[in-house]
Amino acid sequence: MKNKEDVPSGISFFYAKGRYTMGYKIAGNKKEAIFIKRLNRFEAIVEVDGKEELVHVPNTGRLKELLIPETKVYLLDSNNMKRKTRYSLMFVNKKGKLICINSSLANRVLEEAIIKGDVYFGDGELKREVTYGNSKFDFYIKGEKHTFIEVKCVTYELDGIARFPDAPTDRGSRHVEELINLKKLGYESKVIFIAFMDYAKYFTPYKEMDDKFYKTLLKAKENGVDIKCFRCYITLDEIGILNEIPVKLDIDNHYQ
């Protein structure tokens, strides 16, 4: 892209500022289960109706504080008997609260909120999965301001504080570096954290897990990249933006 008039390829639609509406609908039958163990990044064993079942885990993070043996979880039934895993592990019950672990839904939830005007980043044409340089960004807005947006799903929470990442992410750091470069070229750049929990008080990066990502995020803030976090309400059938919560990058003081 040589100038701001060049538009990256993608799927486009238009949106305008509006009022709060409903969230992203999760179609399909849900099934309660008991978590037994995780086999690898993509598979786990749960107990459904008294029988062990292999299920898909739609999140490559560690999720150690969520996927604990004997924890109540909820599955999405594909109703496809030909699939290796009929069910996908979608939700975890943590102390009576639902947390969604399907990281791919973060983009859909934010997209739904933008379309309906619940989250407003300016008028313009919105494109998904836009490539710039060596990175692919989740969204790009062509309008009065040309904006690149990277979305990160947050499932880790400690003492009411949403944190990211829960596993080292070189890819995440690279995306943020690209956003910094775009900001220097005159584009608008945003990192949007979507906290899949309704009770997080604020967001802070998980420095102890990934110091590189933490430092890159600090650098992004210093260079004018917009960093926001939205917490969500979660039901078995719907996820939506609840409200924006503070982003605190001062790790040494984040428990104050």
For position 50, what pLDDT does the model report? Answer: 95
The structural domains of the chain, ordered by start, are 12-22+102-253 (3.40.1350.60), 27-100 (2.40.50.580)
Q: Give me the pLDDT at residue 35, please.
A: 99
Give the per-residue pLDDT at 3: 39
Three-state SS at 65: coil
Put the strands of the sheet holding 161-164 in their side by side order: 156-158, 161-164, 202-205
pLDDT at 144: 82
* pLDDT confidence of residue 65: 94
The count of other CB atoms within 10 Å of the CB of residue 3 is 8
What per-residue string of b and e applies to 18-34 under the rule 16 or more CB within 10 Å gives b?
eeeeebbebeeebbebe
Q: pTM for the complete prediction?
A: 0.88
Instruction: Render each residue's pLDDT in the chain as its tens digit; 256 residues.
Output: 333 333 333 323 333 333 445 789 999 999 999 999 999 999 999 999 999 999 999 999 999 999 999 999 999 999 887 889 999 999 999 999 999 999 999 999 999 999 888 899 988 899 999 988 777 899 999 888 899 999 999 999 999 999 999 999 999 999 999 999 999 999 999 999 999 999 999 999 999 999 999 999 999 999 999 999 999 999 999 999 999 999 999 755 443 3
**170-189, pLDDT tens digit by residue?**
999 999 999 999 999 999 99
Rounded CA-CA distance 119/109 in Å is 10
* Contact of 97 with 200, CB cutoff 8 Å: no
pLDDT in tens, 57-78: 999 999 999 999 999 999 999 9
What is the pLDDT, as a whole number, of residue 14? 30
